[in-house]
Amino acid sequence: MEGDYTTPELNQYDQNVMSLGEWVLTVFISFLPLIGLVMLIVWSLSDNINPNKRNWARATLIIYLIFMVLYFLLMIFVFGSLMSGVEEMYRM
């Protein structure tokens, strides 16, 4: 079928481009402390959202998760170092 343009490969490129104002509002909402995290989860799981926004929300959540794991590991290291110092202080 030469005139058939309904294949999924062509339709994925036929999405509306988000305007600058929409991106500014999206990023602003994502910066809000608790609401931003909830909205990132909603945007990443919704099928009715622009695919660009959905992929951006998923990538942002992955980056947040990576930084939370790194922060947790750093806190374990710092807490362990502090406890080691306290133990040395009581030995004297």
pLDDT higher than threshold 80 for residue 6: no
Banded model confidence at residue 16, pLDDT cuts 50, 70, 90: confident
Structure tokens at 83: 């406890």
Q: What is the pLDDT of residue 9?
A: 54
The amino acid occupying position 16 is: N
pTM of the model: 0.72
Q: What percent of the chain has pLDDT over 90?
A: 65
Q: What percent of the chain has pLDDT over 70?
A: 83
Q: Classify 64 in phi/psi space as left (phi over 0), alpha (psi -120 to 50) or beta.
A: alpha
Q: What is the mean pLDDT of residues 65-71?
A: 97
